[in-house]
Chain A
């Protein structure tokens, strides 16, 4: 199941979105670096000139953690099972000599490998392009921490939306509302509301990260249990 799903994700039609998501930040970084190097562009915030190093941190925070990682999580996570139902091909998977839960697990692991293999090198290339070699040394730890955040984010969003995919009939719309509607609003609200988002734990410390990984495992296990017990009726 893992190999089949990995091949589909990497070389199927959905791979175009992933390729664009991985390539755009690198191209943006290249453009910015060239503009900085030629002296034709400077970015000033509160009278302070933003260095490429600061720009790298901003790119990771805004571009990857706020947009690319959640978007890929929604896009792949919700479609893992929902697409099979919509295409009426889930029957063929269910008749294979394996447990239903293994279908979810195999597809989720394929999603993890596929998206990690595309997004982490993309972030690494952005780091190389934006940060001058002389400044790389002190930023390596920060860079590794960013990679960890991205990896945990991919795992967490994927797990949440694979659970949504096996539970709800139209998970994509709800997922998009959650990621691009609820999460930014909740983050801006005072009090404990922000704790009802994945982004809150992504930007937390190590304990939050471990908590998020455990929650992701829990969500995948719950998704496996749900698909084992649920009856899917294919629309004619």
Chain B
């Protein structure tokens, strides 16, 4: 065998081995959580809550109409469309929302950062924002456009082709800092990333510091929240196919708190079953609920079949009556 034949065969085997090794290394990294969305590289370590949704998968699911109703009720989504001309349904493939630690100076309510991946006509969006008085500046090599809107400064930046950042000016700058390595990203928070690794197989998921949720006024009354055992983290994920499969997990401070939390949730479930015993659809949904406790975490999983949702949404159904 000539020398050049040997060299050719060695190079060929080397290329193959190198690619296989790279793939196996990527797979091993994936097992450690590297399969999480790339957008997390833009989320600073100060984030208290991160939520992700595969918009395209949701849009293509049989639950599309219900999602549209939900989106219409979301003033933030409308706000983005009004300011930028970007239509969620048409332009966005996935969206990640991060809520930052504490209010920004001068921005008491708008502390969220939205990272959307999709197809955006950057020239058109930029022109629309300029029409509304938007100012363009350069930051870390990216063009960012800022609009003064009431008390807030809404800023948009095209961080990569097909990836935009939208939110308060400081948050968008913070995201670009994080990506550039000038600030720590949420990836450094191993506790947070472990939870993300547990839920990121869902069509939509969220991980939050529980106190971050408490600081936002939600549908749960303060009196109820005050009775809850101490919780550190809350994670939820939902998978949408022909039905909806959801999981909510709370990590309590210690095992005793987890047990107390389980009892509280069990009590609520019993109450709900009592209330909904006459409604077959409601009862069917409650029957699918499973409550588990493992160490300090309490998880509640449920399945909602399309038939159950249709029944709940039908005239005379539970949702209609409400």
Contacts and interface: CB of A to CB of B under 8 A. Distances in A.
A39 B161 contact: yes
Given A39-B161, A117-B9, A137 B34 contact: yes
A42 B35 contact: no
Contacts of A139: 23
Contact of A136 (B1, B15, B26): B26
Interface residues of A, number: 29
Contacts of B181: none
Contacts of A42: 119
B216 interface: no
Interface stretch (A125-133, A188-196, A203-211): A125-133
A11 B19 CA distance: 25
Contacts of A10: 5, 8
B70 interface: no
B271 interface: no
Nearest to A126: B19
Contacts of A121: 12, 15-16, 19
Interface residues of B, number: 30
Contacts, number: 71
Contacts of B30: 137-138
Interface in A109-125: 113, 117-118, 120-121, 124-125
Contact of B38 (A3, A49, A134, A143): A134
Contacts of A128: 19, 22
Given A117-B8, A120-B12, A137 B29 contact: yes
A48 B57 CA distance: 10
Contacts of A48: 56, 60
Given A38-B161, A39-B162, A121-B16, A3 B1 contact: yes
B68 interface: no
A120 B16 contact: yes
Interface in A1-21: 3, 6-7, 10-11
Contacts of B69: none
Contact of B4 (A3, A11, A38, A117): A11
A140 B23 contact: yes
Given A39-B161, A124-B15, A138 B9 contact: no
Nearest to B122: A39
A234 interface: no
Contact of B27 (A37, A120, A124, A137): A137
Contact of B19 (A3, A39, A113, A125): A125
A144 interface: yes
In order of increasing CB-CB distance, the 7 nearest A-B pairs are A137-B30, A39-B161, A137-B27, A136-B26, A124-B19, A117-B12, A140-B23
8 contacts: A7-B2, A118-B12, A125-B19, A128-B19, A133-B26, A137-B31, A138-B27, A140-B26
